[in-house]
Structure 1
Amino acid sequence: MEGSSSKHTLNKPIFYLLSTLVLLIIRVFINAVLPLMDKTEARYAEIARIMSETNNWITLQIDYNIPFWAKPPLSTWLSAFSINLFGVTEFAVRLPSLIFAILIIFMIGKYSKQQGLPFFLPAFILLTIPEFLLHAGVVSTDMSLCFCVVLTMLSFWESSKTEKRTVWNYLFFVGLGLGLLAKGPIIIILTLPPLCLWLLFFKDHIKVIRKMPWLIGTLIVIIISIPWYYFAEKASPGFWDYFIVGEHFKRFLDSSWSGDKYGFPKSQPIGMIWVFLILFTLPWMILVIKKIWTARLNLKTNKWLLFLMLWLLWTPIFFTISKSLIHPYIMPVMIPLALLIVFWWSSITLQKTYLITSLIIPIIAVIFFTVSLQNKSLEFYSKTDKYLLNDKADDSIPVYHLHKKSYSSRFYSNGKIKLMTSNQFNEALQTRTPFLLIISHRDTLSLKKEQKTKLKKIQSNKYKSIYSYQ
């Protein structure tokens, strides 16, 4: 009786609604307080800041007048627009990822209701998946791509359920068009193959292909995405070759691709994508693996189950042979993972155990973050220049970064920080003009004694110090 009562309590809608709200509030708080970290997140934030400042909505810029060819503009557009509304803050640049996460939550809730389960059950599951919770507050292209994949896949599924043409038939193409603006042709690679495989298993759904508005749909994709690609190449010749050929073929096939302008070689062992998938989805992935093994002989008997299975497995299968990858590549399959758990939820005997276990990582994250704020260890260990720049006393004194400007220093100085070379540093020390200088600890070791004596340390963290010269 006690176990039955506990299970009944856990399936009450209010539990999942309140849990979802609490997890979102925590994510909002962290989004607003956590500084932007170098290099990746601060880089995308700075690109958005420059777009907002220069009002150049065609060419993404990694620095003033230096184009950024690695990604399309959707997430940058939204972050830049958010900056226009809320100012140059962490919350503003992270807001689009949070909104995409919330939209996804509301898109998939109905599939839980259809099974007589709470609407916010899949939301709770998603927000306790470490990968999804992390990217609900990260400035990147991954959450926007995830949203586009979800829109494309679920639009196709809804289109398959009726012989009539509905709005879902057109939203399928909207998803593809937006996906081309979110991260490029990868949207096609991640969605069409699993859909084609699903149609091969259920040939009666070939009629879905026939009723899709291919002509109008193609026009929708073209109208949404192609104009930007055209103007981007016109404004910055060479973009097509770098982005289409380099980012989508050379990066995938060659982990040591020497043409990468913005990152660094990411050589992972073959099959590492599966390790990422398991580690960043604990504990839920353990449940899914068990259920898949149990249901392996009956996968073809349920169309929804096979649809989710193909969606979940295709992305890691595709990236299995690639060595050049990072864990955010698994983001598009967080949704089928959550929906599979919802599909099997009523048959799970250890619901309470999984619910409690899934909250461990968010709780640890909150405790760690709170303690870090209290003892200021966040300021010391964070790989960001925010706190160094916060401690400068006089805004009229110019600020420099020795050898190489970081993205966070650019963002938090509103682009005012300047680069100082070794020769310029020596010349500056011979003048009486005051300045502030950020120096990495590695570069500090190479300074001469007479140079150090002319500088006064203002603040330090684990990676850098900021000095004043009067």
Structure 2
Amino acid sequence: MEDWTSYLAAVRERLFTLEPWDILLVISTGAAIYLTNLSSYPLRTWDEAIYADAAQNIVLRGTWPIPHTALRVGLLPVESRPFLEKPPLAFWVQSGSMQIFGISEFAARLPSAVAAILTALLVYEFGIRLFNRSVGVISSVVFLGTPYLYMGFNSARTAATDGLLILFGTLFVYCTWRTVNQNNRVWPLIMGVSGWLTVMTKGFAAGIFLFIAFPLFVWNSDVLRNRNFWVGVSLGGVLTLLWIAFMWVNFGDEWVRVFVFDQFVSKVASDGDGGPLIVVEYVVAITGDPEGFQPLASVFFPAVFAVLMDIRTKYTEKRRELLFVLWWIGAVYAPYLLIGDLDSYIYPMFVGTALVIGYFIHEVVVGRYRILGLVAIATAIVYLVSYSVLVEPIWSYITRSGAFALIGSVLLWRWKRWSDPEFSIDIPLPVKSGILLLLLVGAAGAPPPAPPGYNSDPFVDQKRLGLVAGEYVTSADTVYIQENVGLAMHTFVFYSRTRAKGVPIERLNSVPPGAIAVVNTTAVDRITRRTRVIRAVSNRQQNVSLVRIR
């Protein structure tokens, strides 16, 4: 009881000492980037439409213990079945969002977007605990502004599971750090629960955060003899084993084959995407797609150099903290070299990247590494101007980076105050309020674009086809989808809100009268029964028709 009392007292003290403008800045920035126009582009068939359909089935059909989806429908003769590839937590959260906001793209993507904002607050707290307050604020904004995090494949502006994975995983690392540095009963319990939440979000991928936390146990090995620590570990382990036992009892060898071998062992055994061009891929992953203002790579490499110099010259007393944030980056990227086949696998690295860049910017502002700072700024300007001239008119970049310019203005003013105790000029409250208002209005006027490829014709056409199909069927009906229609039809299935069943074209001759089907337009004549084409769509990847079979 004494531990819980002291813990609650520490929480109250921490809440009262938080700078409200810091928190408001982080939340406002995150909301402007991640919550704006989440419904302005259709769900992508891989992977978010699959996950959104699993969540939708929980709402419509009550399949919450084991979410269902028609995986690879349109490519194979399959039907809606238990989705064994991933643990269910992300789909439970998405289904809760759909219960509140209705079944929509916004509701499907909201948990991932909110997770990014909450992770930024953890980055802020990490920055304060490891370094100082200014590093915390800068790092949190850098994290939110990491282009690949809001524009990449399976980014935090999609209905993917990676946003929640980063949130729970970062929370696990933070609680582990608090556990090894503070002997009480509370932090180990939160550590165990957050570790379980990470596992329940993406299974074996949670292991990367255990790898990230490894140095904490090396530097603080006494915690391994602490009873409270093992209570927390046992709690997380028991909760995880209960889920494993549940899946084994219900699906046995099939679950082991799909979840363990197909999703983990086969990927570990693969060669990954490493090779001579891996440095180039790394820069691409940091900077994202050249459809926005994305100069982080120009800051990242000078930042790493500065951190290495500080570690080598013993300039700072924070050597262990600096080693830890560098380890965070390497602990994610090294496995990616070996087994990674998607760029989204490096998303957990962006927490460490943000802390390194935040530390470097702070050091430049207080007067150290000015030359490296000038190099970073010059490189960023060249990067911006070259892409603006070669890819798009300069004005599109100015509007997209307008919100970041406002954020930068606020931070530059605050950095001066933090770095110089004699600097006593304060920003009047009306000015602060006006800056935040401009940030929100400016961001609303120039919202982040859709991630590359998400507004492409195949997904737009599948959405239109699905909405039309939804007018003819109910959620209790089944829509038949011909196998090999050119592209998986997960986007269509979500918007039609029906059960889906993939079948060979010959099977459509024996479906119930009045059934709705999606077939290749060129194969409609192969259906011997009377049909009526309701709508047809054609693009580079698909030429399909929605038909009613008499």
Q: Under a length normalisation based on structure 2, what TM-score does the superposition of the two structures give?
A: 0.67
Q: Give how far 1:425 is off.
A: 4.6
Does 2:243 match 1:228?
Answer: yes
74-83 or 232-241, larger mean C-alpha shift: 232-241
User: Is 1:44 the counterpart of 2:56 in the alignment?
Assistant: no
* Aligned residue identity for 2:56: R
Matched, 1:466 2:545: yes
- 1:159-178 map, 5 Å: 159-162=179-182, 164-165=183-184, 167-178=186-197
User: 1:54 and 1:388, CA in 2 relative to 1: closer, same or farther beyond 3 A?
Assistant: closer
Shift, 1:306, TM fit:
0.6
CA distance in structure 2 between the aligned counterparts of 1:160 and 1:392, rounded to whole angstroms:
56
Give the CA deviation at 1:335: 0.6
How many angstroms does 1:26 deviate by?
Answer: 4.6
| Pairing partner for 2:459 from 374, 382, 386 | 382
Query: Are the aligned partners of 2:23 and 2:121 in contact in 1 as well (CA < 8 Å)?
Result: no
Higher mean displacement: 134-143 or 328-337: 134-143
- The offset of 1:60, in angstroms, is 2.8
Conserved 8 A contact 1:149-1:175 = yes
User: Are the counterparts in 1 of residues 80 and 501 from structure 2 also a CA contact under 8 Å?
Assistant: no
Map 1:45-64 to 2 at 5 A. 45-63=52-70
Give 1:6's aligned residue: none
Gaps in structure 2 of 5+ consecutive residues: 1-18, 71-78, 288-294, 365-372, 385-395, 402-442
Q: How does 1:39-438 map to 2 (within 5 A)?
A: 39-63=46-70, 66-112=81-127, 115-117=132-134, 120-134=137-151, 135-162=155-182, 164-165=183-184, 167-188=186-207, 190-197=208-215, 200=218, 202=219, 205-211=220-226, 213-238=228-253, 239-254=255-270, 268-270=273-275, 275-282=280-287, 283-299=295-311, 301=314, 302-322=319-339, 325-348=341-364, 349-350=373-374, 360=397, 363=400, 369=449, 378=455, 380=457, 382=459, 385-391=462-468, 395=472, 400-403=480-483, 406-416=489-499, 419=502, 421-425=504-508, 437-438=517-518
RMSD: 4.0
Cα distance between partner residues in 2 of 1:250 and 1:328:
18
Query: Partner of 1:401: helix, strand, or coil?
Result: strand
CA distance in 2 between counterparts of 1:105 and 1:227 reads 31
User: What letter is aligned with 1:43?
Assistant: I
Q: Cα distance 1:392–1:409, how it changes in 2: closer, same or farther (>3 A)? A: closer
| Percent identity over paired residues | 19
Q: What is the distance in 2 between the residues matched to 1:15 and 1:362? A: 24
The worse-fitting range, judged by mean Cα deviation, of 232-241 and 111-120 is 111-120
The corresponding residue for 1:261 is none
Distance in 2 (CA, whole Å) between partners of 1:298 and 1:221 is: 37
Distance in 2, Cα, partners of 1:178 & 1:42: 22
In the alignment, the residues of structure 1 paired with residue 181 and residue 472 of structure 2 have an alpha-carbon distance, to the nearest angstrom, of 62
Gaps of 5+ in 1: 1-11, 256-266
> Does the Cα contact within 8 Å between 1:158 and 1:168 map onto a contact in 2?
yes
Residue type of the partner of 2:174? Answer: L
Q: CA offset at residue 66 of structure 1? A: 1.8
Number of corresponding residues: 431
Secondary structure, aligned partner of 1:58: coil
Q: Shift of residue 307 of structure 1?
A: 0.7
Separation of aligned partners in 2, 1:186 and 1:362: 37
Aligned AA for 1:292?
Answer: V
Query: Is the Cα–Cα contact under 8 Å of residues 20 and 120 in structure 1 kept in the other structure?
Result: no
CA distance in 2, matches of 1:340, 1:61: 41
Code of the aligned partner of 1:240: V
Q: 1:211 to 1:355 in 2, by over 3 A?
A: farther
